[in-house]
């Protein structure tokens, strides 16, 4: 424990700023659990990172994970989690956990959505039952789940959206943020506001400034990587970050591509999450220091070299490309586990290297060198 840090507080400390960019090295005290930033958070949507157990999560160096409010609300239900003593007890994981608001899933998975000032009416993607979620509901569900960091309920709009619709949505998101903050009662749970505004500079600025006035514990950047081109994506960050305080963490939601992470870090983002590394792993796509490997290809059938000689994960230290090729072709669950471990470790090791580069004031050089050597395509994997 760092001297001066309390176990009952949530606090971000800016440790060092790269002298050639806005990249930040930080330390997040999550009620006594320390998280170095920039950080990538593996996604455990339904109280599990797919195919990994809690010890696997620790072994790959993950310091914080994300779970999903919408999915946990539907199954097993917030009351079950409350009876279990919270999500940490339920899944036997003692590290920090962030829950998203459920808003993205309400708008992307549910059918027949109807938005009102009170909240959103929709149908469950599981059984078609009628459901309703308000900003207060989202907060109360997250409190019952027992996560360490909760996210305000916001409206997730598609890209592109008109200026008029986006303006109305931003205003609604701000009203919902205030209602959610007023409803939030847990002292051992931080609450982040969500900056929306699509591609419109004035709306991004307005949303950020109004949320800062509400004094959230941290700020999420929403509405990026939802179909826009890379240039527009990065401009959204440029329109947002100058208006967020330096003494609070900044979290860009749903980002897992290498190029997106590096661009966001350079601009001053601290936290990231995405299902990308585990999702592509299950389809046999691996991120390595030599570039992307598609393990199902015949060229790996008798390749007895490690997946990535520069990786220290369980997969790379103990198994060959030939074995992974076999597991994938045989549709064996072990293949999903090993390849998920590798892709997550690859991104977490990237964050470790990023933090060291920031500390040594060489992040810009590191970014350029990494992108040249990694040989990923424009998608960032």
SS3 per-residue string spanning 82-118: HHCCCHHHHHCCCCCEEEECCHHHHHHCCEEEEECCC
Say whether both 206 and 299 belong to one domain: no
> What is the domain count for the chain?
2
pLDDT at 299: 98
Comparing CA positions, the residue from 84, 51, 82, 88 lying closest to residue 67 is 88
Residue 321, domain member (yes or no): yes
Sequence-ordered list of residues with C-beta below 8 angstroms from that of 114, at least 6 positions apart, any chain: 120, 121, 122
Q: Are the CB atoms for 98 and 151 separated by under 8 Å?
A: yes
User: By residue range, what is the domain housing residue 265?
Assistant: 37-273
Say whether both 190 and 307 belong to one domain: no
Say whether both 265 and 350 belong to one domain: no
Say whether both 147 and 269 belong to one domain: yes
pLDDT at 111: 72
Comparing CA positions, the residue from 99, 195, 184, 78 lying closest to residue 150 is 99
In a structure prediction context, what are the per-residue pLDDT tens digits for the chain, which is 381 residues long?
455 667 889 999 999 999 999 999 999 999 999 999 999 999 999 999 999 999 999 999 999 999 999 999 999 999 999 999 999 999 999 999 999 999 899 888 777 789 999 999 999 999 999 999 999 999 999 999 999 999 999 999 999 999 999 999 999 999 999 999 999 999 999 999 999 999 999 999 999 999 999 999 999 999 999 999 999 999 999 999 999 999 999 999 999 999 999 999 999 999 999 999 999 999 999 999 999 999 999 999 999 999 999 999 999 999 999 999 999 999 999 999 999 999 999 999 999 999 999 999 999 999 999 999 988 999 999
Say whether both 112 and 170 belong to one domain: yes
Say whether both 260 and 288 belong to one domain: no
pLDDT at 4: 61
pLDDT at 7: 84
* Separation of alpha carbons 86 and 9, rounded Å: 19
pLDDT at 109: 78
Say whether both 292 and 268 belong to one domain: no
From 250, 273, 296, give the residue that closes a domain.
273
pLDDT at 6: 79
Residue 50, domain member (yes or no): yes
Comparing CA positions, the residue from 219, 290, 220, 230 lying closest to residue 262 is 230
Residue 147, domain member (yes or no): yes
What are the two backbone dihedrals, phi and then psi, of residue 108, each rounded to the nearest 5 degrees?
-105, -30
Sequence-ordered list of residues with C-beta below 8 angstroms from that of 218, at least 6 positions apart, any chain: 12, 149, 190, 192, 193, 248, 249, 250, 251, 271
359: tokens are 């500390």
Residue 118, domain member (yes or no): yes
301: tokens are 């059938």
Say whether both 175 and 246 belong to one domain: yes
What are the two backbone dihedrals, phi and then psi, of residue 210, each rounded to the nearest 5 degrees?
-70, -40
pLDDT at 30: 98
From 252, 273, 294, give the residue that closes a domain.
273
What are the two backbone dihedrals, phi and then psi, of residue 215, each rounded to the nearest 5 degrees?
60, 60
Residue 7, domain member (yes or no): no
* Separation of alpha carbons 205 and 211, rounded Å: 10
Say whether both 52 and 143 belong to one domain: yes
pLDDT at 76: 98
Whether omega before 76 lies within 30 degrees of 0, making that bond cis, reads yes
Residue 10, domain member (yes or no): no
Say whether both 176 and 306 belong to one domain: no
Say whether both 130 and 267 belong to one domain: yes
Active site residues: 100, 273
Q: Are the CB atoms for 25 and 359 separated by under 8 Å?
A: yes
pLDDT at 28: 98
pLDDT at 112: 79
Residue 29, domain member (yes or no): no
Say whether both 206 and 241 belong to one domain: yes
CATH code at position 236: 3.20.20.105
Residue 89, domain member (yes or no): yes
From 273, 291, 308, give the residue that closes a domain.
273
């Amino acid at each position: 424990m760092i001297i001066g840090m309390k176990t009952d507080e949530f606090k971000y400390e800016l440790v060092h700023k790269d002298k050639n960019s806005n990249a930040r090295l930080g330390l997040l005290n999550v009620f006594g659990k320390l998280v170095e930033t920039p950080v990538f958070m593996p996604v455990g949507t339904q109280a599990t990172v797919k195919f990994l157990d809690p010890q696997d999560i620790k072994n790959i160096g993950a310091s914080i994970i994300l779970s999903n409010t919408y999915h946990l609300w539907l199954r097993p239900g917030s009351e079950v989690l409350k009876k279990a003593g919270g999500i940490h007890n339920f899944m036997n994981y003692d590290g920090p956990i962030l829950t998203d608001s459920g808003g993205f899933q309400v708008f992307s998975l549910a059918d027949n959505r109807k938005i009102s000032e009170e909240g959103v009416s929709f149908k469950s993607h599981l059984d078609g039952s009628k459901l309703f979620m308000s900003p207060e509901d989202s907060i109360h569900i997250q409190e019952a789940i027992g996560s360490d960091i909760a996210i305000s309920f916001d409206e997730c709009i598609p890209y592109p959206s008109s200026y008029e619709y986006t303006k109305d949505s931003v205003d609604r998101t701000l009203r919902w943020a205030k209602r959610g903050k007023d409803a939030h009662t847990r002292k051992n749970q931080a609450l982040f506001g969500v900056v929306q505004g699509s591609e419109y500079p004035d709306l991004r600025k307005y949303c950020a400034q109004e949320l800062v006035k509400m004094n959230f514990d941290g700020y999420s950047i929403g509405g990026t990587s939802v179909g826009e081109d890379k240039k527009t994506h990065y401009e959204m960050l440029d329109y947002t970050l100058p208006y967020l305080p330096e003494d609070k963490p900044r979290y860009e939601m749903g980002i897992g591509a290498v190029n997106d992470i590096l661009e966001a870090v350079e601009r001053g983002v601290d936290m990231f999450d995405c299902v990308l590394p585990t999702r592509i792993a299950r389809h046999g796509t691996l991120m390595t220091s030599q570039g992307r490997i598609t393990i199902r290809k015949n060229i790996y059938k008798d390749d007895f070299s490690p997946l990535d000689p520069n990786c220290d994960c369980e997969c790379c230290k103990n198994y060959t490309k030939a074995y992974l090729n076999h597991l994938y072709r045989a549709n064996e669950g072990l293949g999903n586990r090993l390849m998920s471990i590798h892709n997550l470790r690859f991104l977490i090791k990237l964050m470790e290297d990023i933090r060291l580069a920031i500390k040594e004031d060489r992040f810009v050089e590191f970014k350029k060198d990494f992108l040249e050597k990694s040989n990923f395509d424009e998608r960032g994997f």
